[in-house]
Structures are given as C-alpha cells and as structure tokens.
Copies of this chain bind each other. A is one copy, B any other.
Amino acid sequence: MSHIEDNIVRAGFSLPLPAVPAGFYLPALRQGDMVYTSGQLPLKDGRLVEPGGKGKVNEINQQDAATAAGAALLNALSAVKFLIGSLDAVERIVKLTVYVASESYFSGQHLVANGASSLLVEFFGEKGRHVRSAVGVAELPLDASVELELIVACNPSPKPE
C-alpha cells in the first residue's frame, strides 16, 4: 500500500473503487503534470451518504454536510489514484472548489468545505495545503448537498503509459 493510502486508512477512511465513467466525461484527466477531476458527489456504493449527503445545507446539518464533503473528497482521490497509479505520485494538491447546496441565509460554506480541506492536510501533509473556493449554490445534481472538484499536480510520468 502506498504511503498516502496508509495515511488514509490510519485516519479511519478507505479509498472507494473508482466510479464507472459516465457516457461523455471522465472522472479525472491528466494534461501534462496536472490532473483535473470532475465534480464529485458524496456517493458511497452508488448512493448519497446519509446523513449529510442529500438536500440543502443549513446551520443544523452543516456538520453532517462537512462529513459528506469528506466522502466526496475520497471519490476525487480515488479518481486521481486510478488515473496516475498511486497517490504517492501526487506532488501537490493545487486547488479545491467546493459547491454547497445552501438554504437561504446559510453562510457557513467554508465550514462545510473544511470537511474536505482538513482531510487533504491529514492525508498529504504540507503537500496537501491548497487554495480553495467555497460557494453556496442553489441546487446540485441528484439533490446532493456538496459537489467538489480537485486540481492536483503530479510527478512527471509516474508510470509508463
């Protein structure tokens, strides 16, 4: 097991199997040394995680939504791993964008996003410190509470292709 995946397991999580690519787009894509992921939902075994993964976020359920953001992040990292072979080939977590389906007057999107940001630092250490935007959107696909995307820099050609 890779060093980073070891950190993930030690933190009490596991990397899900990668999603089957939907028709027209890919879970992740490499261009040069940059990997971009698609927007990832807090899905586990094909369903939105409960509690927290479904519906609009407010002051009451924001902690559950933060946990759901962690689940979405694991899907993003899984997509990266299956593209580049190992999370140890990640040179830097560059950028995280977090969209939070927000009820009117809920303005704690940054707290929900911390559910993903904190894991990046826990898993990757200094390499996990990233730039981030967190915004409150009206609705997300499948009525998900959170959608997030990653940009990651990886080492040149970590495996022969």
- A residues with a Cβ closer than 8 A to B are 23-29, 31-34, 36-39, 92, 94-97, 99, 101-102, 104-110, 114, 117-118, 120-121, 129-144, 147, 149, 151, 153
- A148: min CB distance to chain B, Å: 9
**Inter-subunit contact B96/A25 (CB<8 Å):** yes
**Inter-subunit contact B140/A137 (CB<8 Å):** no
**Inter-subunit contact A31/B138 (CB<8 Å):** no
**Inter-subunit contact A109/B26 (CB<8 Å):** no
**Inter-subunit contact A107/B25 (CB<8 Å):** no
**Inter-subunit contact B36/A114 (CB<8 Å):** no
Report the bound CA distance from A97 to B39 in whole Å: 9
